[in-house]
Amino acid sequence: MIEVVEDEEEVEETVIESTETNQEEEIVEVEEVEVEEVEEDLEVPFAVIENVPVFPGCESGNNEDKKACMNEQMQKFIQKKFDTDLAGDLGLSGIQKISVFFKIDKTGEIVDVKARAPHPRLEQEAIRVVGMLPKMKPGKQRGKAVRVPYYLPIKFQVQD
């Protein structure tokens, strides 16, 4: 004998209502929508930026003159401030190469300093010295201040 069992579970019914407005509802008119401009931190490479960051004292000339002046002033600054005796104290000899990467932000501050060197103490020294660089006039792209990544190689001979 086969017994038929009816499903006793109640099924919930969904009521579908129209989203159309009827004659009594008031339609609200939107007058003005404010669009908030999101300030992007644009980054433009030093080699292609319209207006390069300006090292103090390098304000005159065109972009190429300012780039050359900045490179020269940075080299002088590093030579003066970098403790080259440190490499000898660490027992290193020969030519030492340190790669320093940093960004000049849109206020002209030096930020995100990173260094690669044959010894961690040389990296720390490079980061210390680059952190002492003076505030610069920020680089500009299409008239707006932008972040500019910069690569600074430091190379010196350890005197025996």
| Residue-level pLDDT at 122 | 94
CA 119, CA 146: separation in Å to the nearest integer?
33
Per-residue pLDDT tens over the stretch 108-136: 999 999 999 999 999 999 999 999 999 99
Per the structure, the complete domain to which residue 135 belongs is given by 63-158
Sequence letter at residue 121? R
**Is residue 22 in a domain?**
no
**Three-state SS letters, 2-49:** CCCCCCCCCCCCCCCCCCCCCCCCCCCCCCCCCCCCCCCCCECCCCCC
Total number of domains constituting the chain: 1
Per-residue pLDDT tens over the stretch 31-89: 776 666 555 568 888 888 899 999 999 999 998 999 999 999 999 999 999 998 888 88
CATH number at residue 109: 3.30.1150
**Is residue 32 in a domain?**
no
